[in-house]
Amino acid sequence: MKVLFVCDGNICRSPMAAEYLRSRAAREGLSHVVVDSAGLLGIEGAPAAPHAVALLRDEGLDLTSHRSRGITSADLRTSDVVVAMTLAQLDVLARRFPQGHERRWLLRAFEGGPVPRGGAPELDDPVTGPMAAFRGAFGIIRSCVDHLVLHLKHAS
């Protein structure tokens, strides 16, 4: 099962969520879960934001080798679950890649539990903010990904 996280630049939110899910899936024995991330802006080869790298390092996770990449049609064809950060991102995905929209959710759809719910809020981009903005975003990511792990366990 492949989970793809999508944001704009693929340097903050989606790589943090992907790295955290990789860690959680490994701890839970979900070896069949493959995790990736991509961005809608098509930025290629940029490292993760310094605050994201530092924050995840403090959490025992490593984003130093992450390099941004743009999303491709193959990403959508091969992903079982696609998780975006904003409604605008879901709209762009729907326009560019209309097939498979039933398996696309906002990250915060998982904030209340393992069953994704509609009407979820968006996750703001901390990219230009202070470390506190990254901490806040990662706190939300952690909670949502923890529930996503439960969702994936039931989907297996």
Give the C-alpha separation, 156 to 26, whole Å: 15
Per the residue annotation, which of 12, 13, 22, 144 is the catalytic one?
A: 13
Known catalytic residue: 13? Answer: yes
Q: Check residue 156 and give its pLDDT.
A: 61
Amino acid identity, position 139: G
pLDDT at residue 99 tops 90: no
**Containing structural domain, residue 14:** 2-155
Verify whether residue 12 is a known catalytic residue: no
- Round the average pLDDT of the chain to a whole number and report it: 96
Over the stretch 79-91, which tens digit does the pLDDT of each residue have? 999 999 999 999 9
Percent of the chain with pLDDT over 70: 99
Note the pLDDT tens digit of each residue in 37-79.
999 999 999 999 999 999 999 999 999 999 999 999 999 999 9
Q: Which of 8, 36, 75, 125 is flagged as catalytic? A: 125
Catalytic residue among 7, 75, 108, 144: 7
Q: What is the enclosing helix (H) or strand (E) of 137?
A: helix 131-155
CATH of the domain at 33: 3.40.50.2300
What is the total count of domains within the chain? 1
Asked about 7 being catalytic, the answer comes back as yes
Interval 101-111 mean pLDDT: 93
Asked if 84 and 109 touch (Cβ cutoff 8 Å), the reply is no
The pLDDT value given to residue 95: 94
pLDDT number for residue 87 = 97
